Structure 1
Amino acid sequence: MNLTSVEFFAESAQHTSVLVLVLMIVEWIVLIAINVVEEKKEGMVSIASYLIQSIPYFLLSKLMIVGTMYWLYSHRIFDLSFAWYIWIIAYLVYDFMVFFIHYMGHRVRFLWCIHGVHHTAEEMNLTVVARGSIFDFFFTPHNFTWLPILGFHPLMIFCIEPVARLYATYSHLSERFVGKHKWLEKLFITPSVHRVHHAKNPIYLDRNYGETFSIWDRIFKTFQTQLPDVKIDYGIMHDQLDSTSIWDVQFLLWKELWTDVKNAPTFKDKINYLIQPPGWNHIDGGKLAEVYRSEAWNSRSLNPTTIND
């Protein structure tokens, strides 16, 4: 494959954003028609969030993303071709970067204030794909911006990223349309596996960070299959956040972070509120996701007939 062909495919791949938007609207309408969607306003807030977060991308993408990628490529470490196996390697490296950045989005609180917007939906369907932060421009591009330094041509990344995003869209499908495929999740992030990631059940917290492949979660011990006796409860562990309020969805996590930083007694504590995982506090260290999970598993082992944790 030559550069001209890659340019053509990269240009064509950019239209996947329109396809994703159409798919999520169609699914949402179908779910409303069959009376599955309980809160119609939640989907509207998700789509509004998509439009809001698109503004910074539209205004700054060529300057800050494309420009940076071509600059990095001009200083690349390796000279890589467009051979078929390089495409496979590029996709795997990209998918690992998504896994890593996604993991950081759950483990660093100021990043969680950006990524957590995506988790505020309390129903699972394709409109959740659109639910992103207005500040997402500072987070998600790290999935792919740095790859050209390794020798992957930016146009190669511009082909891979929309394909991966389309697969990620599929993983948000409502359980009304696709169930659990146990044999597929040995390699891939299936819709069932990704539903676990969107759960606020203590036993499911902070699991399944992959986008296309589940191998990274298995390697780093963050994989969790959907349990047959634990029904998924979607959203985040927050009693006051209204998933149908665009103000709450976009800014409440930031407001609470600012309050914690402002009231922290020392400079070190202020920094820790920014970089420690959600749930941390300066008083006793707080209660983090791993503690919730451990307690849930312990409770499960003591009460094996429990249906919902």
Structure 2
Amino acid sequence: MSLVTLAIPFFLIAILVELALDRWRGWGLYRLNDAIGSLSVGILSRITGLLRKGVLLLVYIPLYELLEPYYRAVGFNWSLDNGWHLLLAVLAYDFCYYWKHRMAHEINLFWADHLVHHQSEDYNLTTALRQPSGGPPIGWIFYMPLLLIGLPAELLITAGAIDLIYQFWVHTQKFPKVRWMEWIFVTPSNHRVHHAQNKIYVDKNYGGVLIVWDRLFGSYQEELEKEPCIYGVRKPLNSFDPLAANLQHYKRMALDAWHTKSWRDKLTLWFRRTGYRPADAEAAMPVPSCDLDNFRRYDPEVRRPLRLYALAQHLCYSAATLALLWYAGELGYIEQAVGVALLAAGLVVNGRILEGHRFARYGELARLAVLTAAAPLLPAVLFAPLAAYTAASGLVWWRLAFAGKGATVGPVSD
């Protein structure tokens, strides 16, 4: 089991602590819909990872084995048990991560994947878990230089996990500036800048563990007291559906490629600078950016019982995700795929419930029906709990969405 998977329970405990402090102190950092939206995106990322094979290792390991005679000749002898070797591996990995992260902000196709992490209009520890579910398998290219120093795959994987785990804690608004840290490390302050859509902050502070790279390569920006961070992206998602989150920019680029008359643009817009749109496509389908002077977070008003139902369902999905990740090694690929599909469907419908979307009314009933039909494909030990869950959920949902005068899942009207 990976270090990141083992760290998930600790991430969730930290989120609960920050949430409790938020409610106690009245900071207003958490909204139920946005937090569930971010966590759902994170769950989708982790479970779909069970079905994907990392291209990085498929390429890296054979090349490493091919170069092993050279490594022995020059004396490269890395060891995971040596603390200094691990430290150097993290530094080397973080340098490569800086350039990968920077390109993710500067090239349309890379941004389509990385955009998912930036869509939340809140900034709290749930934002850290908001990770994309795939995208084009291109990012591995940036780690190929590690072959030049003979870094073994096990150290590469461990360094990558440490780099990612470190980045969790910097997604908070309540850790103050510590001047000496701001010069060396990625901190909550300089990472808040990275997530802001203010003009002065856009495309700054790409480091994972070290902010030194940004200072060296001209992409550093300090957080300014006179310029409070406005979080999110300039062309907002306006949805809590994790599938929509992952498809947002791909859909926009595909539509641009379809509508533009220029074959050059059809073929190259994917690799042009982030935000590039053919003039004729932009004229046909204008997508306005946020008015930062009058910025309002996407926050559809949905009846409290529906919000509580969505919260209860999300807790069930979280428990099921932890179980799936924990026992994945004991399941066949088909069983894993069925579990992933059922969880993904639930996350999508739950996001639509939090939006008050009309799809959710019958979508939730359909999800429960499919779950019941798929029960025989899952391990037998799950049959009784699933039967109880689907029966209880179906009765509650029927009462909320269909029974009673004017029952609806739509937004509350003023």
| TM-score above 0.5, yes or no | yes
Runs of 5+ in structure 2 lacking a partner?
283-294, 296-414
Evaluate the alpha carbon distance shift between residue 233 and residue 68 of structure 1 in structure 2; reply closer, same or farther with a 3 A threshold.
Answer: same
Which of 180, 203, 206 aligns to 1:206? It is: 203
Where does residue 101 of structure 1 map in the other structure?
100
Deviation (angstroms), 1:32: 5.3
Question: Contact 2:119–2:232 at 8 Å: present in 1 too?
Answer: yes
Where does residue 193 of structure 1 map in the other structure?
190
TM-score (norm 1): 0.78
Ranked by relative contact order (alpha carbons within 8 Å, sequence separation 6 or more), the top structure is 1
CA distance in 1, matches of 2:183, 2:55: 37
Where does residue 29 of structure 1 map in the other structure?
19
CA distance in 2, matches of 1:89, 1:13: 18
Which of 58, 64, 77 aligns to 1:81? It is: 77
Which of 22, 38, 42 aligns to 1:50? It is: 42
Deviation (angstroms), 1:117: 0.5
Where does residue 256 of structure 1 map in the other structure?
252
Evaluate the alpha carbon distance shift between residue 216 and residue 151 of structure 1 in structure 2; reply closer, same or farther with a 3 A threshold.
Answer: same
Structure of greater Rg:
2
TM-score (norm 2): 0.60
CA distance in 2, matches of 1:232, 1:243: 21
Deviation (angstroms), 1:129: 1.6
Where does residue 70 of structure 1 map in the other structure?
61
Residues matched between the structures, number: 275
Deviation (angstroms), 1:155: 1.2
1:235 aligned onto 2:232: yes
Deviation (angstroms), 1:278: 2.2
Deviation (angstroms), 1:168: 0.6
CA distance in 2, matches of 1:187, 1:158: 23
1:218 aligned onto 2:252: no
Q: Deviations over 1:140-187 (max 9, x none)?
A: 655657634641111112222222222111111x212x1122221111
Evaluate the alpha carbon distance shift between residue 19 and residue 75 of structure 1 in structure 2; reply closer, same or farther with a 3 A threshold.
Answer: farther
Question: Contact 2:239–2:245 at 8 Å: present in 1 too?
Answer: yes
Q: CA RMSD in A?
A: 3.0
Evaluate the alpha carbon distance shift between residue 270 and residue 142 of structure 1 in structure 2; reply closer, same or farther with a 3 A threshold.
Answer: same
Evaluate the alpha carbon distance shift between residue 54 and residue 71 of structure 1 in structure 2; reply closer, same or farther with a 3 A threshold.
Answer: same
Which of 260, 264, 268 aligns to 1:272? It is: 268
Evaluate the alpha carbon distance shift between residue 57 and residue 12 of structure 1 in structure 2; reply closer, same or farther with a 3 A threshold.
Answer: closer
Q: Deviations over 1:91-116 (max 9, x none)?
A: 22100111111011111111111100
Evaluate the alpha carbon distance shift between residue 20 and residue 274 of structure 1 in structure 2; reply closer, same or farther with a 3 A threshold.
Answer: farther
Which amino acid in the other structure matches residue 133 of structure 1?
Answer: P
CA distance in 2, matches of 1:221, 1:266: 35
CA distance in 2, matches of 1:31, 1:187: 28
